[in-house]
Amino acid sequence: MLELQNISKNYKTTRALSDFSYTFGHGVYGILGPNGSGKSTLMNIITGNLKHDCGTIRMSSNTARSIGYVPQYPGLYGDFTAYEVMDYTARLCEIPHGQEKTRELLEAFELVEYENRRVRALSGGTKQRLAIAQAFVGSPELIVLDEPTAGLDPMQRILFKNFIRKHREDTTIIISTHIVSDIEDVADEVIFLRRGAIANAGTVSNMVESMKNKCWLLPPHVEYTNGFCRVVGDRIRMIADYCTILGAESVIPELDDIYLYIFGEEGASNST
């Protein structure tokens, strides 16, 4: 378990985090927000790479082996082979049967064919998969993944999400991203961050329930008059507290709709 209470962080005159409090149990937690919302600052504080200004952090275990981490820009030794990266991590974690765990993870992330290649010769997506794999080497209690799917193609994203699903029951997995589809199908709870503070949080089902009658599918070729919209195929989904457009159909909101409802006004003001 991981508990954060009133965590705050300032960079000179900028408030990066403001009284952030949350309790994380086993499961997958998605941290969503636009660039500059404080996601990476939060990830770095949780992993101990950055000192918070105030607040408290409690974790069920405080050993280095208890945390697996993939930063937004993972640094891997370029002269190491993919296998050596995994083996080195296993040795640092002092885990028994490290070679077996290394082999298991190389296979899980489809990295066996690259195990003898130097990291510097790998593609960006392959390096990213390797970085994610090494985070799981020590079977840590807490996994922190900051923008983990950067550089992954659609099939690799599916591979990543399938792996996460298998480990949600006995691990706390925190995924920071601004790509909603990365977590929509796997997150047990979602936290929306706006300018360092929690704008909304809870299970996806509870958020969908709270957004009922606020998401509308407009008839073809109809211009919207209020709210925020996104195009899906040849139709427009409008997010608004009400809709007076003839023929508009109230539909079940998706996580993208909820994101737009929370951050739409901020995005619109940033574009002007």
Q: Is the pLDDT of residue 222 over 80?
A: no
In this predicted structure, the answer to whether residue 63 has a pLDDT above a threshold of 60 is no
pLDDT-derived band at 270 (thresholds 50, 70, 90) equals very low
pLDDT digits (tens, 9 = 90+) for 36-57: 899 999 999 999 999 999 999 9
Between CA 71 and CA 44 the distance in angstroms is 8
Q: What is the mean pLDDT of residues 170-197?
A: 91
Identify the residue with better confidence: 151 or 127. Answer: 127
User: Residue 38 region, left (φ>0) first, then alpha (ψ -120 to 50), else beta?
Assistant: left
Q: What percent of the chain has pLDDT over 70?
A: 93
Q: What is the pLDDT of residue 265?
A: 64
pLDDT mean across residues, the chain: 89
21: Cβ contacts below 8 Å, ≥ 6 apart: 4, 5, 6, 7, 55, 198
The pLDDT of residue 136 is above 60:
yes
pLDDT for residue 271 is more than 60: no
Which of residues 62 and 270 earns the better pLDDT score?
Answer: 62
CA–CA gap between residue 140 and residue 3 (Å, rounded): 17
Q: Catalogue all structural domains in the chain, each as residue range(s) with its CATH number.
A: 2-203 (3.40.50.300), 207-270 (no CATH)
Question: Region 124-148: what's the mean pLDDT?
Answer: 94
State residue 241's pLDDT score: 87
β-partners of residue 197 are 194
**Distance (Å) of CA 180 to CA 1, 30, 37, 142:** 25, 9, 15, 21
What Cα–Cα distance (Å) separates residue 76 from each residue in 63, 71, 81, 82, 103? Answer: 22, 11, 10, 9, 18
Provide the pLDDT for residue 62.
Answer: 61
Q: Which of 102, 108, 95 is nearest to 66 (CA)?
A: 95
